[in-house]
Amino acid sequence: MTFTQTQKWLPLLVPCMPSPQELMPWLERMHMARHYSNFGPLVLELEAAFAQQFGSGVEQITSVANATQGLELVLQALNLPAGSHVLVPALTFVATATAVVRAGHVPVLADVDAQTWMITPEIARAVCERMCIGAVLPVATFGMPQDMHAWQQFELDTNVPVVVDAAAAYGSQWLRDAQGTLVFSLHTTKSLPAGEGGLVVSTRPGLAAKVRQLSNFGINFDPNASMPIGTLAGLGSNAKMSEYHAAIALVSLQKMELHAMQRRRLQKDFICEINQATDHRVAWQVQGTGGPLLAPTLLCASLPNAAVRFVLEQACQREHIMTRRWYQPLLQNMDVLQQRCLTLETPIAIALAQKLLGLPFFLGMTQEERHRVCNVIASAMSVS
Ligand SMILES: Cc1ncc(COP(=O)(O)O)c(C=O)c1O
């Protein structure tokens, strides 16, 4: 048996979750309070911490069960006419589009920028000139922040609401004094892991409160509302965050800065090593005008072409290195979505989909593990 056959698989991602010991004091608090769900003390504490981080009022914040539900409920709360066209990038995770369909609308798939791999206000503006768009869902792709000032200007100019799918961008995507709506994921693989969880931040008056109500079945609990408490105010869902998840998020929050710094350092070193090993033949996502990627959670390489990617995938398989074609196939190539979406011309997204490849990236990744990846990329490049 060769060394390679016995080699342990190098994983793509390794969750960085709090230990049971770290969680215990929070779980004790939860148990003492006998409050396990329904906006309990830990969820309120977490939301207050988020409000402080975003420099916003607590009424502009609501926790949710996950980002997918967050996106769906924000779209519902916007009260768009049924069947509205909602612009989303073709290169994104499926949940961006499924949330639109589940909210009763039609995703319109747009192209992305060749450098940032993201939909931009310029791309959205050009589409809005050609067709009626009810809302735009830009994505903070692979955690790269969107420019909220530019999107605020877009909203002002077009009157089309913008909701940023910032699922992978906690710690990188901020409002930076702009008006806007952001939806984050607190999934295990994200920079602020809660196991499952989501966060909605919105300066749009009443939006976060509406999402909160919809996350609690749509029942009115506002004594100042025009209807009695307990009345069903809207067709909501159950998308509340539990106290268990809030406990994990609160512990994760304490380590957020340290972990973000370690993630940045790992990303910088690893990219540098790959560039050296490949004579700079790998391209990387470029920072846009939204600011730097402060808390990277994955590493996605843009290879010279589809043939190199194929050779590299095969080599990684042989060497027991996990890779993933993140966000692929493109949304328009998924049967379930195809009939439910309108697809615009997306030449850049199609070209990127030929050559993007996710590589192992996780806190605690050793230099030896990084060398393993570098070696395999260098040899794949040399044969293709
Ligand atoms: C762009 C994007 N949107 C939405 C989601 C879904 O987030 P969640 O798992 O919290 O529902 C993800 C998850 O990775 C994502 O990458």
- Average predicted confidence (pLDDT) for the chain: 97
Both 244 and 309 in a single domain?
A: no
For residues 289 and 154, membership in a common domain is answered with: no
Say if CB 92 and CB 98 are below 8 A apart: no
Residue nearest to atom 1 of ligand 1 (CA): 93
* 200 and 298 part of one domain: no
Does one domain contain both 224 and 101?
Answer: yes
Would you state the pLDDT for residue 2? 47
Phi, psi values for residue 300, rounded to 5°: -120, 120
pLDDT of res. 234:
96
Same domain flag for 147 and 173: yes
Nearest-CA residue for ligand 1 atom 7 is: 67
Which atom of ligand 1 lies closest to the CA of 99? 4
* Dist. CA 270 → ligand 1 center (Å): 25
| Percent of the chain whose predicted confidence (pLDDT) is above 90 | 97
Q: Is the same domain home to 245 and 262?
A: no
Residue 5 has pLDDT above 60, yes or no: no
Q: How far apart are CA 168 and CA 147, in angstroms?
A: 15
Q: How far lies 354's CA from each of 116, 159, 301, 357, in Å?
A: 16, 35, 11, 9
Strands (E), 39-170: 61-64, 85-89, 106-110, 135-136, 164-165
Do 231 and 274 lie in one domain? The reply is: no
pLDDT at res. 383: 78
pLDDT in tens, 145-183: 999 999 999 999 999 999 999 999 999 999 999 999 999
Residue range 271-282: mean pLDDT, rounded: 97
DSSP string across 270-321: HHHHHHHHHTT-SB-PPP-TT----S---EEEE-SSHHHHHHHHHHHHHTTB
80-93, pLDDT tens digit by residue?
A: 999 999 999 999 99
Are 43 and 165 part of one and the same domain?
yes
Ligand 1 mean position, distance from CA 90 (Å): 15
Residue where one domain finishes, among candidates 206, 234, 250? 250
Contact 184, 166 (CB under 8 A): yes
Q: What is the mean pLDDT of residues 340-361?
A: 98
Any idea what the CATH number is for the domain that residue 309 is in? 3.90.1150.10
CA of 37 to the centre of ligand 1 (A): 22
**Ligand 1: centre distance to CA 31 (Å):** 30
Decide: 168 in ligand 1 pocket, CB within 6 A.
yes
Same domain, 33 and 161: yes
- Looking at the fold, whether 368 and 243 belong to one and the same domain comes out as no
pLDDT given for residue 6 in this prediction = 67
Quickly state the pLDDT bin for 7 (edges 50, 70, 90). confident
Looking from the CA of residue 196, the nearest atom of ligand 1 is 10
Q: Give the total number of structural domains in the chain.
A: 2
Could you list the residue range(s) of the whole structural domain that residue 367 is in? 3-12+255-383
> Is 143 a residue whose pLDDT tops 50?
yes
Residue to substitute in 93, 163, 300 for testing ligand 1 pocket (most ligand atoms within 8 angstroms of CB)? 93
Kindly indicate the confidence band of residue 221, based on its pLDDT and cuts at 50, 70 and 90.
very high
Tell whether 222 and 370 lie within a shared domain.
Answer: no
pLDDT of residue 384: 67
- Tens digits of per-residue pLDDT, 281-293? 999 999 999 999 9
Taking only the tens place, the pLDDT of each residue in 47-61 is 999 999 999 999 999
Q: Is the entire prediction scored with pTM above 0.95?
A: yes
Distance CA 165, CA 149 (A): 16
Chosen domain end from 211, 227, 250 = 250
The answer to whether the CB of 68 is under 6 A from ligand 1 is: yes
pLDDT score of 215 more than 50 = yes
Q: Which of 74, 198, 89 is nearest to 142 (CA)?
A: 89
* Radius of gyration, CA atoms only, the chain: 21
* 93 ligand 1 Cβ < 6 A: yes
34 lies in the same domain as 137: yes
**Domain boundary pick from 200, 222, 250:** 250
Q: Give mean pLDDT, residues 185-209.
A: 98
- Is it the case that residue 352 has pLDDT exceeding 70? yes
191 touches ligand 1 (CB under 6 Å): no
Q: Ligand 1 mean position to 16 CA, how many Å?
A: 17
259-270 per-position pLDDT tens digit: 999 999 999 999
% of the chain residues with pLDDT over 70: 98
d(CA 173, CA 309): 30
Whichever domain contains 143, its CATH number is 3.40.640.10
Q: Each residue of 291-314: pLDDT tens digit?
A: 999 999 999 999 999 999 999 999
Q: What is the pLDDT of residue 4?
A: 52
